[in-house]
Amino acid sequence: MSADVGGVASAAVATVFWGTWLAWSLRQDRRRLRNGFLLMAVVYTASGLVGALVSLVPGGVDAVGWITLALLAALALALLALPVFLVLNGVTMVRRERRSLGNLLSLLAGLAMLAAPVVVAAPVALRQSWAWGLAAAVGLATAWLGFTFLGFAAQTLLYRRYAARVPARAVIVLGSKVVGGRVPPLLAARLTTAVAAAERLGGPGGAVPIVPSGGQGADEDRPEGVAMARWLESRGVPRDRILVEDAARTTRENLTYGVALLRERGVDGPYLVATNNYHAPRAALEAMDLGLDVHAVGAPTAGYFFPSAYLREFVAVLRRRRAVHAVAAALIVVAAVGTTVLAVPGA
């Protein structure tokens, strides 16, 4: 067997392996974060398989080379444009929203991406061994976070297609802050999505129950669940289809209390939870961790708000597996120290 044919065979085996694992994982639970990483592996190996097949054709090797060069150039341009976009988005967030760490995440991420190349290039300018260690730490940390973020983004795209079609017997709406007893646009988007989902799920027999879930915060004059129920009634949702949950303070409580209320009323799962699109992946993960048969659908969010909000959700997802990231951080530190020790001062 020639080397080219052997490469095709190896790529095919790898693609089948990762594809089979992904299919099995999806059958186990479509909410799992690992599905995104498995999808990345499938795309990577499938691309290698296509490249190996094209290489068998006369002139194919040159074609693969040019395509690879074009993809690398596109990736480089994207990496150059991304930090600029994040910084500009961060400035917009500062102008339109209250200044908080969560709302500043896109700005901070953009500045960090702009600073990273400078830090990595520092050893050449400073000619100090410690600078090589710092460059290694920044480079490895950036690679780890980038890999993890891509897996999260891949799972988001993969899960969104399924969640929009999942069957369910009720819809829970995650609460958020109400202002002056009124439902603000962000929460109204969740409610609108819940109503549409309830009508889709109900079919000819009528819409399924909706559970507006949310307690009363210190700066709110009524429970969020009550305010949402009034909004639903004002939009024509029958009162007997609305089951108010007015005690939850967190996403986990929204899910737990909402499911408990539905079960008390004799409504068994599966259930849908309506939230905003940036929050849906983590809400689904929370439901999975709680062992609840709940999937999440996302409502549209203002474009300028999405990047920081999605990065905030990514940070929350990182906290779910602290041990994994602690091990990764320890290995990065070891690599940085080793680089510092092995670097030749003044080289």
CA atoms within 13 A on the CB side of 157: 10
Confidence at residue 204, expressed as pLDDT on a 0 to 100 scale: 60
Residue 190 domain flag:
yes
Task: Taking residues 234-247, report their average pLDDT.
Answer: 92
**Start-end of H helices in 127-223:** 129-163, 185-202
**Residue of 323, 262, 313, 340 whose CA lies nearest to 102:** 313
Q: Rounded mean pLDDT of 197-206?
A: 79
What is the residue type of 130?
Answer: W
CB 294 within 8 A of CB 166: no
182 forms beta bridges with 179
Q: Is there a domain that residue 318 lies in?
A: no
Instruction: Let me know if residue 103 belongs to a domain.
Output: no
Domain coverage including residue 184 = 167-269
pLDDT in tens, 226-236: 999 999 999 88
Query: With 60 as the cut, is the pLDDT of residue 347 above it?
Result: no
Residue 338 has pLDDT above 60, yes or no: yes
Q: Is the separation of the CB atoms in 242 and 252 below 8 Å?
A: no
Distance CA 282, CA 32 (A): 10
Residues 68-101 have pLDDT tens digits of 888 888 888 888 898 899 999 989 988 888 777 7
Phi, psi of 213 (to 5 degrees): -120, 125
Q: How far is CA 18 from CA 23, 144, 158, 331, in A?
A: 9, 21, 15, 26
Residues linked to residue 299 through DSSP beta bridges, in sequence order: 276
Residue 205 pLDDT: 58
Q: How far apart are CA 194 and CA 210, in angstroms?
A: 7
Q: Does residue 41 belong to any structural domain of this protein?
A: no
Least confident of 39-43, 114-118, 192-196: 114-118
The predicted pLDDT at position 245 comes to: 95
* pLDDT band, residue 346 (cuts 50/70/90): low
Range from 42-46, 150-154, 257-261, 319-323 carrying the lowest mean pLDDT:
319-323
Residue 271, strand partner residues: 294
The per-residue pLDDT for range 42-69, each reduced to its tens digit, is: 999 999 898 888 888 887 777 878 888 8
The highest-confidence range among 134-138, 160-164, 168-172, by mean pLDDT, is 168-172
Question: What's the pLDDT score for residue 154?
Answer: 94
The model's confidence at residue 272, banded by pLDDT at 50, 70 and 90, is very high
The reply to whether 283 falls in a domain is no
The answer on pLDDT for 1 being more than 50 is no
**Mean pLDDT of all residues in 127-131:** 80
Residue 72 lies in a domain: no
Which pLDDT value is given to residue 55? 82
Q: Is residue 251 part of a domain?
A: yes
Predicted confidence band at 124 (pLDDT cuts at 50, 70, 90)? low
Mean pLDDT score across all residues of the chain: 88
- Classify 173 as helix, strand or coil: strand
Cis peptide before 270 (omega within 30 of 0): yes
How large is the average pLDDT for residues 5-14? 86
Residues 250-264 pLDDT 10s: 999 999 999 999 999
For residue 266, is pLDDT > 60?
yes
SS3 221: coil
**Between 111 and 269, whose confidence is greater?**
111
In a domain, residue 224? The reply is yes
The CATH code of the domain that includes 172 is 3.40.50.620
For residue 18, the Cα-to-chain-centroid distance in whole angstroms is: 21
Beta bridge partners of 211: 172
Domain count, the chain: 1
